[in-house]
Amino acid sequence: MAGELFIGLMSGTSLDGVDVALVEFNTAELENAQQLHVLHTHFLAYPSDIRAQIIALQHPTDNELEITALTGNTLARLYADAVNQLLGIAQLSPNEITAIGCHGQTIRHKPGFADGIGFTLQIGNAALLSELTGITVVSDFRSRDIAAGGQGAPLVPAFHQAVFSSHQANRAIINIGGIANITYLASSGTVTGFDSGPGNMLLDSWIKQHKSLDYDADGAWAGTGQIIKPLLESMLKESYFSLPPPKSTGRDLFNDAWLAHILLNTNYRPHDVARTLVYLSALTIYDALILDCHDYNQSIDAIQNEVYLCGGGARNSLLKNDLQQMLGNTKVSTTDELGIGVDWLEAIAFAWLANRCLNQKTANLPEVTGAKGARILGAIYQN
């Protein structure tokens, strides 16, 4: 093949499993990410016991250092299975792959915590993954940005800028996974990116409690309920929503305990709570676009706003319809229309980030993360 082959691995806050993408980069076109070619994709679901263990590790627990390390080994084996399955589909050998870009599974994300620097922790034992696959692995993408005073997230806006920017439109790329994050690409070239708040995470947990389902397919259950205005108002009092960017969040804040505290001494119908959670996700995305994406309200006739969804939430028509109603005439579509499938964008992005690291090119956007400057991201486990 003419270019270098990279594999991107992504397992996000939704905890459904690992997305894997095989991406070809032409070495003569490194500065133009629009020239990347997605050759194959694959998904490997998390076993229920692994998912439960990861959720338990979001908060301090007995013997958590040992449990965290061993869970990281288990994830490395799962990641290796996913990679090997992808290689089988593509009929490729490990020595044909330049590197794997592995995000790992976030256990804690606390930028700025305690000493002003804080930390982020993604597990998955990249060294073991390299041993199991025979491929160089690039991982730990967030730590360098945090060390430089940044949030360490979101990192994908740099990729969005490279592949989705347009001089003819302002584009918002909204990834709705467990957490919802926004990249706003103004036609002028400026980029804004941050986490707006919960995406699917609270709803997934709620339907698991009440229906023993992993997620609410297409928002069908939530769609049978009504929005509870007092509950919505209580949730919107969360101080995170009013923080200005740069900002990022995760299960450290938006979790079962957060929702249980708000629901204390209430007796709402479960499907009404579900409906309110969907509306909360849509409303906080909308508010973030209006309040924190400064070019959004300054569009002129020749430059229109376009909104493209990706992640699991892009398949929730109830959430998408809520957002469309709030945004009025603004076009709301998915990244499928831009040539990258909604389920694979982040895995592709981490292949791109690994490519950047090995070619010694910076990959964070200081205006997004708040870091002191542009940095080369990632730790390399050479094979």
CB neighbours (10 Å) of residue 343? 19
The distance from CA 363 to its chain's CA centroid, rounded to whole angstroms, is: 16
How many Å apart are CA 197 and CA 240, to the nearest integer? 8
First CA to last CA distance, the chain: 21
Identity of the amino acid at 51: R
The predicted pLDDT at position 8 comes to 98
Closest of 100, 74, 72, 76 to residue 86, by C-alpha: 100
Inter-residue contact 310 to 342 (CB < 8 Å): yes
The predicted pLDDT at position 3 comes to 86
- Where along the chain do its domains lie? 4-152+343-381, 157-338
What is the mean pLDDT, run by run of 10 residues, along the chain of 383 residues?
A: 88 92 77 75 95 90 94 98 98 98 95 94 98 98 97 96 92 96 94 96 96 94 98 98 95 95 97 98 96 71 82 95 94 94 96 97 96 98 96
Closest of 199, 350, 213, 206 to residue 288, by C-alpha: 199
The predicted pLDDT at position 220 comes to 97
The predicted pLDDT at position 1 comes to 46
The predicted pLDDT at position 299 comes to 53
How many Å apart are CA 209 and CA 204, to the nearest integer? 9
- Secondary structure string (H, E, C) spanning 358-374: HCCCCCCCHHHHCCCCC
Does the reported pTM lie above 0.85? yes
- Assess whether the region 4-152+343-381 and the region 157-338 belong to the same CATH fold: yes
DSSP-based three-state secondary structure for 45: strand
Separation in Å, CA 237 to CA 149, 255, 284: 27, 16, 12
Choices 3.40.50.1100, 3.40.50.720, 3.40.50.300, 3.30.420.40: CATH for 157-338: 3.30.420.40
Cα atoms found within 13 Å of the Cα of residue 122, Cβ hemisphere only: 23
Identity of the amino acid at 369: T
The β-bridge partners of 139 are 379
Q: Domain 4-152+343-381 belongs to what architecture?
A: 2-Layer Sandwich (3.30)
